[in-house]
Chains A and B, each alone.
Chain A
Amino acid sequence: MRFVDEYRDPRLARALADAILRRATRHWTIMEVCGGQTHSILAHALDALLEERVSLLHGPGCPVCVTPLETLDRALALVERGATLCSFGDMLRVPGSRRDLLGARACGGDVRIVYSPLDAARLASEQPERTVVFLAVGFETTAPAVAAAARWALERGLANFFLLVSHVRVPPALEAIAAAPDTRVEAFLAAGHVCTVMGTAEYEPIARRHRLPIVATGFEPVDILEGVALAVAQLEAGEARVEIQYQRAVRPDGNPAARALVEEVFEVVDRPWRGIGVVPGGGLALRARYAALDALRAFPELAEQAPRESAACRAGDVLRGAIRPPACPAYGRSCTPEHPLGAPMVSSEGACAAYWHYRAAEVTA
């Protein structure tokens, strides 16, 4: 498969890893931001290839993981009220305070997986007797599609389509991690797909202020190793620039059409991230023009939620890169993919799920 196989070439990967080990004169700590990168790193054991010279910290880039429990509880409340809730598949097994969306569906709730927010809007248009709510979570990657659905719904004057918005923005989270007094991060591998949409300009001030190399990086093994190689080269040279490894997808100004759409529909707000706390400027909310689509405005009673986090789960520490999943006392004991306590254990981008699938069960050759 073009654009996939060549980036999974084991020989090329090994050569890149060797070059990194030769180049590094000391040990460096680099955070990969996106959960997709974390899964790739663990699936292909890239961390083991580099461990002599580079520690990889796993970042907060799992949209499902950072969606506040409160938002999930609101989605569950909507289902219990008889709304049709549409969401990306990843969200369905994430534990809410009382249950997950799959459980709500087993109880007769109408919960549907869609691949595109536009599918949810179309469903609302075709079945006007239904109240259709799209659970709009995700980073800047999914925001343009949600913005397109919002515009589509507004243009048609749909009265039965709503968005429960919990969109988050990556750069403010990197700023928060870099600014933390106990941070160990010396360079970031930024999430390639977010940069495909947004470009790299937002990272310039972070790189400058904190003297950190930031490399917009792809998701296949060769991408990630090349991203690490670029970051290590900068670190060794004492540089701190924004660089693009994922050149086949990322332009410095991103995708201007998608950015304009996001800009038209959303405004930047402060937003709590699950496990991390309020990130200033860390979220997107519907602009006033689109307020009619806001599920929270249409169903104000939803605001009343008393989310109950598991006391044992240390998802927040995992998401900040403060601990690796196996250091959590619940990991693999009270928390497994079949009985998850926190979102990182269920999401296909969650760090705990990555360790469970690729590492906890590691076998010796």
Chain B
Amino acid sequence: MSQPSCPLPIEGDRVTLAHGAGAGASARLFEELLWPQLANPALGARHDGAVLEAGGARLAFTTDTFVVRPLEFPGGDIGSLAVHGTLNDLAMCGARPLALSCALVLEEGLPLSTLSRVIGSLAGAARAAGVPVATGDTKVVERGKGDGIYVNTAAVGLVPQGRALRPDRVRAGDVVLISGPLGAHGAAVLSVREGIAFESEIRSDSSHLGDLVEVMLEVAPELHCLRDPTRGGLGAALHEIAAAAGCEIEVEEDAIPVDEPVRAACELLGLDPLFLASEGRCAAFVPEADAERLLAALREHPLGRGAARIGRVADGAPRVVLRTGMGARRLLLLPAGEPLPRIC
């Protein structure tokens, strides 16, 4: 057996998977290492994308890298996901997309047929959204140095006049809505990754939310903030919003929609659906006066049929409170690292 070299002690001086899991360690990596060296007002908004003033226009700009394994999963693949994820970040800023970029890191030995399928799916998703892939790059790394395909996409878009979707606009009294059942993407990927077959196939919810957001802004122009609960799930998203808004967010456990197969998969695997990724859902923070109208509009849209009112923003320390089915109130804490399956 060969020995991996690692000087000891190593406590805390290396990147671990927890740094990418979207919860506490990810936030600390940003606040303690990235932010101090990169600080600027656009990044400081801590939104899904940056909004920049340029030539009298407001430009939204965002980027995301996709490393999902396996590359293809029920309901999508890394290609369509790379388009949906990045365009959704623009949508969360209220921006209309102009163009996408696509940078590929390919591993030596990847079958061209796989690459062709993934790119076909990426192109299809971009076409469906009406957004061209305007620029790109391809790199190949040695076998074993990558995981088949990594995709980075970036996108620019325009924020129409009068729109201001930002975490710091969230205030006490706002109602929290969610556009549909949570966690299907995370559960779909896990079910194929772990080779666990469920009675009913769980399909990823990966989809582009641009049209849904346009509808939402039409019926509720006073919408304060949108956030898509991707890595780290709704739990991490609510924590980020609570911190940025300086408010308490209280959600009702029983009101949070989770499809039965996803709930069952979570029970089986020992995971919490509140921390599983969705790739076609968004949480909306909206004044009470607009909440019911917005909920009704969401439910009429194909991507918002399972929308629900899940909670409310209150005055108080920035934290997330969960009201459980048994009536207890407890803090919803971020998991310490990647969710780990339990022993029994």
Are A221 and B330 touching (Cβ within 8 A)? Answer: no
* Bound form: Cα–Cα A357–B235 in Å: 14
Are A338 and B336 touching (Cβ within 8 A)? Answer: yes
Are A103 and B11 touching (Cβ within 8 A)? Answer: yes
Judge if B33 is at the interface, Cβ distance under 8 Å: no
B226–chain A nearest beta-carbon distance, Å: 27
Chain A residues closer than 8 Å to B341, beta-carbon distance: 88-90, 113, 115
Q: A10-B327, A103-B14 are in contact. Are A361 and B333 (CB under 8 A)?
A: yes
Which residue of B11, B194, B337, B343 contacts A93 across the interface (Cβ within 8 Å)?
A: B337
Judge if A362 is at the interface, Cβ distance under 8 Å: yes
Binding site for B on A (CB under 8 A): 1, 4, 8, 10, 13, 36, 43-45, 48, 63-64, 80-83, 88-93, 98-99, 102-109, 113, 115, 119, 131, 137-139, 141-142, 193, 221, 337-338, 346-349, 356-358, 361-365
Of the listed residues B4, B195, B196, B264, the one surrounded by the most CB atoms of chain A closer than 10 A to its CB is B4
Stretch at the interface among B15-23, B36-44, B133-141, B151-159: B15-23
Of the listed residues B264, B269, B337, the one surrounded by the most CB atoms of chain A closer than 10 A to its CB is B337
* Bound form: Cα–Cα A113–B16 in Å: 15
Chain A residues closer than 8 Å to B342, beta-carbon distance: 88-90, 347-349
* Bound form: Cα–Cα A43–B323 in Å: 11
Chain A residues closer than 8 Å to B197, beta-carbon distance: none
* Bound form: Cα–Cα A45–B330 in Å: 10
A299–chain B nearest beta-carbon distance, Å: 9
Residue of A nearest to B258 (CB): A1
Chain A residues closer than 8 Å to B15, beta-carbon distance: 106
Judge if B70 is at the interface, Cβ distance under 8 Å: no
Chain B residues closer than 8 Å to A142, beta-carbon distance: 343-344
Are A82 and B336 touching (Cβ within 8 A)? Answer: no
A214–chain B nearest beta-carbon distance, Å: 20
Binding site for A on B (CB under 8 A): 1-6, 8-11, 14-18, 24-25, 194-196, 260, 263-264, 267, 269-270, 321, 324-331, 333, 335-337, 340-344
A selection of 23 A-B contacts at a CB cut-off of 8 Å is A1-B264, A8-B325, A36-B344, A44-B324, A44-B326, A82-B2, A88-B341, A91-B343, A102-B337, A106-B14, A109-B6, A115-B194, A115-B341, A131-B1, A138-B344, A193-B344, A338-B25, A338-B336, A348-B270, A349-B342, A357-B333, A364-B329, A365-B329
Residue of A nearest to B267 (CB): A4
Which are the 4 A-B pairs with shortest beta-carbon distances? A107-B6, A82-B1, A89-B340, A108-B4
Residue of B nearest to A13 (CB): B326
* Bound form: Cα–Cα A43–B10 in Å: 34
Which residue of A44, A48, A93, A98 contacts B8 across the interface (Cβ within 8 Å)?
A: A98
B297–chain A nearest beta-carbon distance, Å: 30
Of the listed residues A108, A109, A338, the one surrounded by the most CB atoms of chain B closer than 10 A to its CB is A338
Are B16 and A102 touching (Cβ within 8 A)? Answer: yes
Chain B residues closer than 8 Å to A141, beta-carbon distance: 344
Residue of B nearest to A348 (CB): B342
Are A99 and B9 touching (Cβ within 8 A)? Answer: yes
B222–chain A nearest beta-carbon distance, Å: 29
Are B17 and A102 touching (Cβ within 8 A)? Answer: yes
Residue of A nearest to B270 (CB): A348
* Bound form: Cα–Cα A102–B14 in Å: 11
Are B330 and A362 touching (Cβ within 8 A)? Answer: yes
* Bound form: Cα–Cα A109–B264 in Å: 33
Q: A89-B340, A138-B344 are in contact. Are A102 and B18 (CB under 8 A)?
A: yes
B235–chain A nearest beta-carbon distance, Å: 12
* Bound form: Cα–Cα A103–B4 in Å: 13
A118–chain B nearest beta-carbon distance, Å: 11
A138–chain B nearest beta-carbon distance, Å: 6
Of the listed residues B6, B260, B337, the one surrounded by the most CB atoms of chain A closer than 10 A to its CB is B6
Are B194 and A363 touching (Cβ within 8 A)? Answer: no
Which residue of A4, A98, A221, A349 contacts B9 across the interface (Cβ within 8 Å)?
A: A98
Chain A residues closer than 8 Å to B11, beta-carbon distance: 99, 103
Of the listed residues B324, B333, B344, the one surrounded by the most CB atoms of chain A closer than 10 A to its CB is B344
Which residue of A13, A88, A338 contacts B343 across the interface (Cβ within 8 Å)?
A: A88
Which residue of A83, A113, A137, A138 contacts B1 across the interface (Cβ within 8 Å)?
A: A83
* Bound form: Cα–Cα A10–B323 in Å: 13
Chain A residues closer than 8 Å to B343, beta-carbon distance: 63-64, 88-91, 137-138, 142, 347-349
A41–chain B nearest beta-carbon distance, Å: 11
Which residue of A1, A63, A88 contacts B263 across the interface (Cβ within 8 Å)?
A: A1
Are A363 and B330 touching (Cβ within 8 A)? Answer: yes
Which residue of B4, B270, B325, B328 contacts A80 across the interface (Cβ within 8 Å)?
A: B4
Q: A1-B267, A115-B196, A363-B330 are in contact. Are A81 and B1 (CB under 8 A)?
A: yes
A38–chain B nearest beta-carbon distance, Å: 13
Chain A residues closer than 8 Å to B324, beta-carbon distance: 43-44
B38–chain A nearest beta-carbon distance, Å: 24
A46–chain B nearest beta-carbon distance, Å: 8
Chain A residues closer than 8 Å to B196, beta-carbon distance: 115
Chain A residues closer than 8 Å to B328, beta-carbon distance: 44-45, 48
* Bound form: Cα–Cα A115–B14 in Å: 27
Chain B residues closer than 8 Å to A106, beta-carbon distance: 10, 14-17
Residue of A nearest to B18 (CB): A102
* Bound form: Cα–Cα A139–B337 in Å: 25
A335–chain B nearest beta-carbon distance, Å: 12
A2–chain B nearest beta-carbon distance, Å: 9
Are B10 and A103 touching (Cβ within 8 A)? Answer: yes
B255–chain A nearest beta-carbon distance, Å: 14
* Bound form: Cα–Cα A126–B101 in Å: 40
Chain A residues closer than 8 Å to B16, beta-carbon distance: 102-103, 105-106
* Bound form: Cα–Cα A138–B344 in Å: 8
